[in-house]
Amino acid sequence: MKIVDLLTPPSNLKVVISGGAAGIGAVIAKAFYEVGAQVYIGDINASAVEQMKREYPGLHGGVVDVGNQVQVNRIMDEATQLLGGIDVLVNNAGIAGPTGNVEDLDAPAWEQTVSTNLNSQFYFLSKAVPFLKQSKQNPHIIAMSSVAGRLGYPFRTPYAATKWAIVGLMKSLAAELGPDNIRVNAILPGVVAGERMDRVIDARAQTLGIDFESMRDQYLNKISLRRMVTMEDVAAMALFLSSPAAANISGQAISVDGNVEYL
């Protein structure tokens, strides 16, 4: 086999993606779909799930609150029945969480961030791992973290705490599941262009009492390449990590961020 042929994932992969109907998750779902994978997405937005299913015939999906284990169990049962197993789990679902001084944050906002960003990863893992152990297709788990999982992030402590925790979860699982031939890696997106990032910038600008454009410039000036990354950049990394070329890459926290120097 030519080396270039190793860069494309097998066409028959069975892929489950949480938070897969919008944003980065949707772009990752489309990328796997385009290389011939069987894809199941879970998302809280029912209309977005239906839109994805209309646009991509054969793509499966269900509505789920990822912070609710009963609901996760339900859609995972459906996913494994429809796909006939799982080869790749992309634990992507997450929220930005609140912005503000730590003493001003309320407990419900903290708990929702932890539930959505971190607890959900465990819920999906607990259902997926038995199927991944049966996979013969280079089984792989992608844990979606963030550049805030390697840097401190003032005024975004709930978000940063969950993203650091995800890296620890990934490192531990890579060691735990390696003997079962299951690879585990984390992707750490940086400042990703799009509406969600605009909302994050706006919230932080308001916290600091400055205008949106000044806040945006501050973000860009912290990036060595002085530009945001795209959702397609992140999806491309997900495909690479699920390809034969990455067969011996595990336990890695891989930044896709243009080298964010600090937050």
First CA to last CA distance, the chain:
43
State which amino acid sits at residue 165.
A
Residues 9-57 pLDDT 10s: 988 999 999 999 999 999 999 999 999 999 999 999 999 999 999 999 9
Per-residue pLDDT at 13: 97
Q: Give dist(CA 78, CA 75) in Å, integer.
A: 5
Above pLDDT 70, what percent of the chain? Answer: 100
Beta bridge partners, 183, equal 140
Only one residue has tokens 């390697």, namely 150
The two structure tokens encoding residue 140:
């792989």
Q: Give dist(CA 263, CA 149) in Å, integer.
A: 11
Among 193, 263, 187, residue whose Cα is nearest residue 228:
193
Domain ranges of the chain: 3-190+230-255, 191-228
Whole-number average pLDDT of the chain: 96
Beta bridge partners, 184, equal 141
**Helix (H, G, I), strand (E, B), or coil: what is residue 26?**
helix
CATH number of 3-190+230-255: 3.40.50.720
